[in-house]
Structure 1
Amino acid sequence: MTYKLIALDMDGTLLNPKKQISEQNRLWIGRAIEAGVRVTLATGRPISDASVYAQDLQLETPLVINNGSEVWSLPDKLHARHVIDSNLVSRLLTEVIPAYAEQVNFWSHTVEGRVNKTNLPDDVHSLRWLQLGISSKNIDLLKEIRSELETWNAFEISNSDVTNIELNAPGISKASGLQEVCRILGIQMSEVIAIGDSLNDVPMIKAAGLGVAMGNAQDTVKAIADVIALTNVEDGVARIIEAHI
Structure 2
Amino acid sequence: MTRPGPGEPGWRPRLVALDIDGTLLRWVVGRGMSLEEVTPAVHAAVQRALDAGAHVVLSSGRAPFNMTGVADLLDLHGHGEKLWIVASNGAVVLRYPPAEVVHEVTFDARAAVYAVLEQHPDAIVAVEERGVGYRVSAPFPDGELGGETIVSDIAEMVAGPVSRVIIRDPKATAEDFVRLAANLGLHGTDYIVGWTAWLDLAPVGITKASGLEYVAAQLGVDRADVLAIGDGRNDIEMLEWAGRGVAMGQAVDEVKAIADATAPSVDDDGAAVEISRWFPSPTSGGMDA
Q: What is the TM-score when the length of structure 2 is the normalising length?
A: 0.77
The number of aligned residues is: 240
Could you tell me which of 56, 69, 77 is aligned with 2:100? 77
Identity of aligned residues (%): 29
Q: Secondary structure at the match of 2:266?
A: coil
In structure 2, relative to structure 1, the CA distance for the partners of 1:143 and 1:237 (3 Å cut) is: closer
Indicate yes or no: 2:163 matched with 1:130: yes
Deviation at 1:241, TM superposition (A): 0.9
**Residues 42 and 271, structure 2, Cα contact 8 Å, conserved in 1:** yes
Deviation at 1:57, TM superposition (A): 1.9
Following the alignment from structure 2 to structure 1, what is the Cα–Cα distance between the partners of residues 175 and 212?
32
**Residues 127 and 157, structure 2, Cα contact 8 Å, conserved in 1:** no
Higher mean displacement: 64-73 or 133-142: 133-142
1:133 maps to a residue whose letter is I
Following the alignment from structure 1 to structure 2, what is the Cα–Cα distance between the partners of residues 173 and 139?
19
Indicate yes or no: 2:61 matched with 1:27: no
Could you tell me which of 270, 280, 286 is aligned with 1:236? 270
2:65 maps to a residue whose letter is S
Deviation at 1:194, TM superposition (A): 0.4
Indicate yes or no: 2:8 matched with 1:8: no
Partner in structure 1 of residue 56 of structure 2: 39
**Residues 175 and 207, structure 1, Cα contact 8 Å, conserved in 2:** yes
Instruction: Spell out structure 1 runs of 4+ moving beyond 6 A.
Output: none
Higher mean displacement: 152-161 or 194-203: 152-161
**Residues 16 and 22, structure 1, Cα contact 8 Å, conserved in 2:** no
In structure 2, relative to structure 1, the CA distance for the partners of 1:110 and 1:147 (3 Å cut) is: farther
Partner in structure 1 of residue 219 of structure 2: 185
Indicate yes or no: 2:152 matched with 1:120: yes
1:217 maps to a residue whose letter is A
Work out which of the two has the higher radius of gyration on C-alpha atoms and give 1 or 2: 2
Deviation at 1:110, TM superposition (A): 4.4
**Residues 110 and 131, structure 1, Cα contact 8 Å, conserved in 2:** no
Deviation at 1:138, TM superposition (A): 2.6
Gaps of 5+ in 2: 1-10, 28-34, 77-81, 139-150, 280-289
Could you tell me which of 107, 113, 116 is aligned with 2:126? 107
**Residues 157 and 166, structure 1, Cα contact 8 Å, conserved in 2:** yes
Following the alignment from structure 2 to structure 1, what is the Cα–Cα distance between the partners of residues 209 and 114?
31
Following the alignment from structure 1 to structure 2, what is the Cα–Cα distance between the partners of residues 125 and 230?
40
Q: Secondary structure at the match of 1:31?
A: helix
The superposition leaves residues 125-165 of structure 1 with CA deviations (integer Å, 9 ceiling, x where unpaired) of: 5554111122334344323421332x213212223324322
2:200 maps to a residue whose letter is E
**Residues 83 and 169, structure 1, Cα contact 8 Å, conserved in 2:** yes
Deviation at 1:116, TM superposition (A): 1.8
Partner in structure 1 of residue 180 of structure 2: 145
Equivalent positions of 1:50-69 (< 5 A) are: 50-59=67-76, 60-69=82-91
Deviation at 1:100, TM superposition (A): 1.8
2:127 maps to a residue whose letter is S
Following the alignment from structure 1 to structure 2, what is the Cα–Cα distance between the partners of residues 115 and 209?
37
**Residues 5 and 191, structure 1, Cα contact 8 Å, conserved in 2:** yes
Gaps of 5+ in 1: none
**Residues 90 and 208, structure 2, Cα contact 8 Å, conserved in 1:** yes
| Aligned-CA RMSD value | 1.9
In structure 2, relative to structure 1, the CA distance for the partners of 1:125 and 1:141 (3 Å cut) is: closer
Deviation at 1:56, TM superposition (A): 2.6
The superposition leaves residues 39-66 of structure 1 with CA deviations (integer Å, 9 ceiling, x where unpaired) of: 1100000111101111232324310000
Q: What is the TM-score when the length of structure 1 is the normalising length?
A: 0.90
**Residues 135 and 157, structure 2, Cα contact 8 Å, conserved in 1:** no
**Residues 110 and 127, structure 1, Cα contact 8 Å, conserved in 2:** no
Following the alignment from structure 1 to structure 2, what is the Cα–Cα distance between the partners of residues 177 and 63?
9
Following the alignment from structure 2 to structure 1, what is the Cα–Cα distance between the partners of residues 174 and 74?
35
